[in-house]
C-alpha cells in the first residue's frame, strides 16, 4: 500500500512523517512514495528511522522525484529496501547502473507486450534494443499526449478504451479524452501496433 500524506504548504516534518508511515505500516506493508508534492521529497531521516524499526512495515520505495534525489536514495538503500523507479522505462534505463529493482510501467495495463519486450532486452543487457523500444513506443506515446492536450491520466484511459480494457471516462474534475482526441490516439496506436509487429521479428533475432 502507498500511503500519501497531505503535505499542504509543506507542513509535514520528518518526525510526523515517520509516525504517519509507522501507523499505516502497523496494519499492512507500505511502499513510501518519495514525492510529497510541491517539489518536496521525503527526508532521508524518515527512511533511516523506518529501516531501524523492524515493525514499521516499510517494504519498498516508489520514486517520483528528480533524478539526483532518486540516484542518491538508491545508493543509500542499496540491498536493504526494494526500489521502484517512477513513471517510465526511460527513467529505469537511465539509472540502470544503480540497479533499481523495478519500474512503474506505462504499457502493462493495456499493451503488456511492449513492456515485456523492453524487460527482456533489459535483462539480457541489450541496451540498444531496449532504448529503441523506449524511443519508438513510450516516448512517442507520451509525446502524443503532450502535443494533443491529453493529461497523462486521460491519455492512459484512452489507451485502455482503445485496447478494450475499460472505458475512458473519468469522474469530474478529472478530464477525459474527447472523440477527436480518441480518433487521433487510435490512429497513432494503430501505427505503433504495425511497427511493433515488425520490431518483434528483430527482437527475436
pLDDT one-digit tens code per residue, 109-142: 999 999 999 999 999 999 999 999 999 999 999 9
pLDDT of residue 203: 75
- Check whether residue 117 and residue 172 sit in a common domain: yes
pLDDT of residue 204: 65
- Check whether residue 43 and residue 61 sit in a common domain: yes
| pLDDT exceeds 90 at position 202 | no
In this prediction, what percent of the chain has a pLDDT beyond 70? 99
How far apart are the two ends of the chain, measured CA to CA in Å? 40
pLDDT of residue 13: 96
Predicted confidence (pLDDT) per residue in 56-95, tens digit: 999 999 999 999 999 999 999 999 999 999 879 999 999 9
- Check whether residue 3 and residue 88 sit in a common domain: yes
- Check whether residue 90 and residue 122 sit in a common domain: no
Taking residues 47-58, what's their average pLDDT? 96
- Check whether residue 95 and residue 139 sit in a common domain: no
Q: Can you say whether the dihedral through the CA atoms of 198, 130, 105, 90 is positive or negative?
A: negative
Q: Which three cell numbers stand for residue 155?
A: 491519455
Domain boundary (104, 127, 143) is at: 104
Q: What residues make up the domain containing 73?
A: 1-104
Domain boundary (79, 104, 129) is at: 104
pLDDT of residue 141: 98
In this prediction, what percent of the chain has a pLDDT beyond 90? 93
- Check whether residue 66 and residue 90 sit in a common domain: yes
pLDDT of residue 152: 95
| pLDDT exceeds 90 at position 205 | no
Give the span between the Cα atoms of 134 and 183, in whole angstroms: 23
Find out whether 48 and 11 touch, Cβ atoms under 8 Å: no
- Check whether residue 99 and residue 119 sit in a common domain: no
Give the span between the Cα atoms of 58 and 42, in whole angstroms: 14
- Check whether residue 120 and residue 100 sit in a common domain: no
| pLDDT exceeds 90 at position 96 | yes
Give the span between the Cα atoms of 33 and 57, in whole angstroms: 14
Amino acid at each position: 500500500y502507498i500511503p500519501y500524506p497531505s503535505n499542504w504548504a509543506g507542513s509535514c516534518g520528518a518526525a510526523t512523517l515517520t509516525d504517519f508511515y509507522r501507523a499505516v505500516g502497523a496494519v499492512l506493508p507500505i511502499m513510501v512514495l518519495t514525492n510529497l508534492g510541491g517539489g518536496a521529497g521525503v527526508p532521508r531521516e524518515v527512511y533511516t528511522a523506518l529501516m531501524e524499526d523492524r515493525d514499521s512495515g516499510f517494504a519498498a520505495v516508489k520514486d517520483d522525484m528528480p533524478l539526483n534525489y532518486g540516484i542518491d536514495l538508491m545508493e543509500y538503500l542499496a540491498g536493504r529496501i526494494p526500489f521502484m523507479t517512477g513513471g517510465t522505462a526511460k527513467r529505469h534505463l537511465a539509472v540502470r547502473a544503480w540497479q533499481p529493482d523495478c519500474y512503474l510501467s506505462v504499457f502493462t495495463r493495456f499493451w503488456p507486450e511492449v513492456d515485456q519486450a523492453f524487460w527482456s532486452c533489459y535483462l539480457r543487457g541489450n541496451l540498444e534494443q531496449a532504448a529503441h523500444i523506449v524511443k519508438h513506443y513510450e516516448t512517442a506515446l507520451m509525446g502524443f499526449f503532450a502535443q494533443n492536450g491529453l493529461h497523462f491520466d486521460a491519455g492512459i484511459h484512452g489507451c485502455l478504451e482503445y485496447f478494450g480494457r475499460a472505458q475512458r471516462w473519468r469522474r469530474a474534475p478529472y478530464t477525459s479524452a474527447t472523440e477527436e482526441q480518441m480518433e487521433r490516439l487510435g490512429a497513432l496506436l494503430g501505427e505503433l501496433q504495425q511497427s511493433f509487429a515488425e520490431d518483434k521479428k528483430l527482437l527475436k533475432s
